[in-house]
Structure 1
Amino acid sequence: AIWMMPTYAAYGGWPSSGEIDIMESRGNSNLNYTTADGEPIGVDHVGSTLHFGSNYFYNGFMKTTVAKRLKDGRTFADDYHRYSVEWTEDYIKCFVDDEMTLNVEPDEGGFWKFGEFEKNNMVNPWRYASKMAPFDQEFYIILNLAVGGMNYFDDSNIGPRPKPWTGADKTAFWRAKEEWYPTWNPFENDGEDAALKINYVKVWKLKP
């Protein structure tokens, strides 16, 4: 994943201070799975999301979650790809290989109105801030590789072999190592086929 988190969490705990997921993807080329609804979730799929809300239970991410899928047997593991975010005082846009996949431009009601949180009779944590709050503060970039868990590999996913662990049981995941570890082809090409490879990271300031 390539994502961004607030440096100072100016508006409180997650997700009140925001999160920008520039790119999230699954990297195992043998992970030819789909959701229960038939949606592919393998290496031909990447997603972008903004997380924002008054508290953990009220997160507007569903309004900003998008996905891009490759066709004709191509995958995001075949070559390098360019994932980017353009972030200004008026909008946040995400791109995959220069193709815009997400465009969020809140009006003067800001992300509170955009997320329709006023329906829940809660206090707006951004009521004294700009329309881009919580995305009007300093963020830092994270690049990470995660394994196991439930959030991105649900028990209901359908694939060529049963998921070798259930739920979020970390010990079950490790006990099943002999089943999932070989699917990463760790001994082929000196392990390069299983590596998270990064060509470059660049940041530009749009305004002086």
Structure 2
Amino acid sequence: MIRSNLIFSLALLILFSCNSPSESDENLLWSDEFNSAGSIDTEKWNFQIGDGCPGNCGFGNNEKQFYTDSTKNIRVEDGILIIEAHQPTDSGRYTSAKITTKNKGDWKSGYIEVSAMLPEGRGTWPAIWMLPTKDKDFKWPADGEIDIMEHVGYNQGQIYGTIHTEDYNHIKGTQKSDSLFVEDASKNFHVYAINWTEDKIDWFIDDELYHTVEKNGEGKSGWPFITPFHLIINLAVGGNWGGKYGIDPNIWPQKLKVDYVRVYKTKPLKEKKL
């Protein structure tokens, strides 16, 4: 009987400790496990190249980086996506990378989780976030923004989750935001996630709920999250927030590492801690 119970317990442990989703899992909508070395999968991701100029230089935040598709700045190694920012060369520009799933992964709701290890140091500004998939006439903040994870290196370990809308945005100082301290955010991988439903968005770190924004019957000015949004992952340098206290010249290069990205219809059951 003891032997039978032991075998049964081991079977349950294997069942609940499996971290990789099955492609046949009907709840899984989209994923990238970054299992192919070299460049990213361009059937799933787009590169954003440049600095936002003309018209939106520094992406509206006075950021100092120029995004490239060079393997110096973005690549896959040993099952990990690496976005690497470098300090200026003779051109006088920081370089980094930014990728999006626009028109390749767009969702109106779902549970979205990203396992990531963050850079550190004053001037770094990594983000995992979402914008609406609109080809024309995109208007910020009226069309909405969902920040799954933001971190600024001068406030090491403090992780932020935020929405921006016409009614709630940082220009007005009305953005709906909260944060959670993760001491080893730049030493170990943690899972940053949102559970986005018709009426609310929950933010999680390692399955710990730390922020909720509810619709509360609001119209588009307060809740524009009614159209498909796509995912964005980038490592910015400096800017109005990331560079609030300047950029440390002695920390480069810095890396944002991503183990996996998974999008589910609904929040999946998590393994039990034995």
Q: One fold, TM greater than 0.5?
A: yes
TM-score (norm 2): 0.46
Distance 1:81 1:138 in 2: 26
Does the aligned pair in 1 maintain the 2:163–2:169 contact within 8 Å?
A: no
1:73-103 alpha-carbon deviations (Å, 9 max, x no partner): x320110000001111111111111111211
Aligned partner of 2:83 in structure 1 is none
Identify the match of residue 182 of structure 1 among 216, 238, 250.
Answer: 250
RMSD of Structure 2 on Structure 1 (CA): 2.9
Structure 1 residues 183 and 102, CA gap change in structure 2 (3 angstroms): same
Unaligned runs of 5+ in 2: 1-126, 268-274
Q: Which has the higher helix share?
A: 1
Aligned partner of 1:104 in structure 2 is 213
Unaligned runs of 5+ in 1: 28-32, 34-40, 116-132, 156-162, 165-179, 187-193
Q: Which has the higher strand share?
A: 2
| CA displacement at 1:11 relative to structure 2 | 8.6
Aligned partner of 2:47 in structure 1 is none
Structure 1 residues 68 and 57, CA gap change in structure 2 (3 angstroms): closer
Aligned partner of 2:227 in structure 1 is 137
Does the aligned pair in 1 maintain the 2:164–2:170 contact within 8 Å?
A: no
Structure 1 residues 136 and 99, CA gap change in structure 2 (3 angstroms): same
Distance 2:203 2:191 in 1: 11
Structure 1 residues 205 and 57, CA gap change in structure 2 (3 angstroms): closer
1:141-173 alpha-carbon deviations (Å, 9 max, x no partner): 000000022222324xxxxxxx46xxxxxxxxx
Distance 2:217 2:199 in 1: 10
SS of the residue aligned with 2:264?
Answer: coil
| CA displacement at 1:50 relative to structure 2 | 0.1
Aligned partner of 2:203 in structure 1 is 94
Describe how 1:61-100 pairs up with structure 2 within 5 A: 61-62=174-175, 64-70=176-182, 74-100=183-209
Describe how 1:15-30 pairs up with structure 2 within 5 A: 15-27=141-153
SS of the residue aligned with 1:150?
Answer: helix
| CA displacement at 1:57 relative to structure 2 | 8.5
Aligned partner of 1:47 in structure 2 is 160
| CA displacement at 1:45 relative to structure 2 | 1.0
Count how many residue pairs are aligned between Structure 1 and Structure 2: 141
Aligned partner of 1:118 in structure 2 is none
Distance 1:134 1:89 in 2: 11
Distance 1:85 1:99 in 2: 11
Distance 2:168 2:138 in 1: 9
Q: Highest relative contact order (Cα 8 Å, sep 6+), 1 or 2?
A: 2
